[in-house]
Structure 1
Amino acid sequence: MATPQKKKKRLKLEQWVKDQMWSESGGHCQNPDCRVDLLSFVKRKHIAELAHIIPASDDGPRSEDGTTLTEAERALPENIVLLCPTCHTVVDKAPDEYPPDALHEWKRMSEEARAIAHGTPLFQSRSSARSVIEPLLGANKAVFEEYGPADNLFDDSRADQWRKQVQATILPNSREILRLLAANRNLLTPEENAIVHKFALHIQQLEDRHTKGDWTPGSVRFPTEMTSIMEGDK
């Protein structure tokens, strides 16, 4: 008679991973439709649950999406989302409704909200804000001029570099610009607010193309007015 195989013990999450998740989430459920305070229910206890996006074991929800992840990679913060018990149950009971891309987006939105609330400086003047935003715009411009789509200059090598630099430089810089502008919207003119909305739509569509493969035609182009945002007096 064959000896039954012992079930492999799942890798325990290290304390630094748990600490990072509390910091990333701000102590709130990372489901954007929930956002419940995970410390408010029971005195001196929390109700947070550390949920795997790709499961720790190969028979868990969404396991078919993580065949290339090692056991160690599954225990990193990039693969963990902090949820309340209800949301944790829901996402694991209906994995088709909550695929990895959706949960990663929850993490991104949570990090964005925390950055705006706690990690973004408030400026006293337009010139101070401009001094921080201008280098980010300049870096993006340099990448576009070097690798961006151009007539008769978009070979495979250039296209590969463009995709790489969009994800490594343009998207992170642009998210930081949007956070700075959102936190300091009182310094913007009404006309500039409209430009920022157009820029946000442009960046969202750029991200959709380069991270989700959504090449829907008719996307919003970079509004050239952004190059002079926050210049001069209000």
Structure 2
Amino acid sequence: MADSTTKRLPLSTPAKNLLWSESGGHCQNPQCRADLHVLIEQQRLHLGELAHIIPASSIGPRADEDPALTEPDRAQPENILLLCPTCHKMIDKAPDAYPATLLREWKQRSQKARAEAFGTPVFDTRAEARVHVEPLLEANRAIFDRYGPRTGVFDDDRADQWQRHVATTIIPNNQQLQRVLHANRQLLTAQEKATFHTWAIHAQEFEERHLDGNWTAGSTRFPLEMATILEDEQ
């Protein structure tokens, strides 16, 4: 355990880069989220401060919450938040109001927000996952209803619009749907997993037709159950 005279261990450059990345360059207090980059006299500066959840020394704020935490572990990015100067001072001036459990929740929320914005999110509930996939399904359906192929309808303008939207919207949406549903497959029922696998075959064949020109007969049709995947009865 660190004592009051312990010299805090410095963070490595990769660790600092990780903290800036997971925070998106914003204060990790979800009630603040201040931009930590400012432009002063044409110089790009940053206001971010590295704030320990469990302090580097044994007498700092929240030190009694995990006294057995080793010095090297205290210097790991898992124990550090990136905050603006105001929030850093606030959490250390009032540690009882800002316990380690709350600060770790801030960190997790920031990581989740980054994943949702720039990566493939993993959700805790079916409702959260449905909120994410529903707009993608609805956008694809709207394009199909407006421009999709119709038996006996031969309209060059309609066909051109269909091809354009397939490339710019439907295929990218399908690719995102496949990533999200695969990452959250633990939320799917057995029947939904079967629906997802059938739809994935359909999506692959659809992409091969429109991007690679593979018009092999007998393609898998869109499973209608896909429209309500992750949707529970009210």
TM-score by length of 2: 0.55
Of the candidates 91, 115, 134, which is equivalent to residue 185 of structure 1?
Answer: 134
- Secondary structure of the residue that 2:38 maps to in structure 1? coil
Which residue in the other structure is 1:65 paired with? Answer: 65
Q: Against the structure 1 CA distance between its residues 174 and 118, is the aligned structure 2 distance closer, same or farther, given a 3 Å change threshold?
A: closer
Mapping 1:7-26, distance limit 5 Å: 7-26=5-24
Mapping 1:1-234, distance limit 5 Å: 7-42=5-40, 43-120=43-120, 174-175=123-124, 181-187=130-136, 228=192, 232-233=223-224, 234=227
Spell out structure 1 runs of 4+ moving beyond 2 A. 5-8, 40-43, 173-185, 222-234
Partner Cα distance (1:28, 1:75) in 2: 21
Q: Give the aligned residue type for 2:96.
A: D
Q: Against the structure 1 CA distance between its residues 223 and 14, is the aligned structure 2 distance closer, same or farther, given a 3 Å change threshold?
A: closer
Q: Against the structure 1 CA distance between its residues 56 and 224, is the aligned structure 2 distance closer, same or farther, given a 3 Å change threshold?
A: closer
Q: Residue 53 of structure 2 contacts residue 103 of structure 2 at CA under 8 Å; is this kept in 1?
A: yes
Partner Cα distance (2:86, 2:39) in 1: 14
Shift of 1:178: 7.0
Partner Cα distance (1:40, 1:178) in 2: 38
Q: Against the structure 1 CA distance between its residues 37 and 185, is the aligned structure 2 distance closer, same or farther, given a 3 Å change threshold?
A: farther
Partner Cα distance (1:101, 1:14) in 2: 25
Shift of 1:187: 3.4
Seq. identity, %: 48
Partner Cα distance (2:137, 2:4) in 1: 63
Q: Against the structure 1 CA distance between its residues 174 and 227, is the aligned structure 2 distance closer, same or farther, given a 3 Å change threshold?
A: farther
RMSD: 3.2
Q: Residue 120 of structure 1 contacts residue 183 of structure 1 at CA under 8 Å; is this kept in 2?
A: no
- Secondary structure of the residue that 2:112 maps to in structure 1? helix
TM-score by length of 1: 0.55
Shift of 1:60: 0.4
Q: Give the aligned residue type for 2:118.
A: H
- Secondary structure of the residue that 2:20 maps to in structure 1? helix
Q: Residue 48 of structure 1 contacts residue 84 of structure 1 at CA under 8 Å; is this kept in 2?
A: yes
Unaligned runs of 5+ in 2: 139-185, 197-222, 228-234
Partner Cα distance (1:177, 1:99) in 2: 30
Q: Give the aligned residue type for 2:19.
A: M
Shift of 1:12: 1.3
Shift of 1:49: 0.3
Shift of 1:50: 0.5
Q: Give the aligned residue type for 2:8.
A: R
Which residue in the other structure is 1:152 paired with? Answer: none
Which residue in the other structure is 2:142 paired with? Answer: none
Shift of 1:228: 2.6
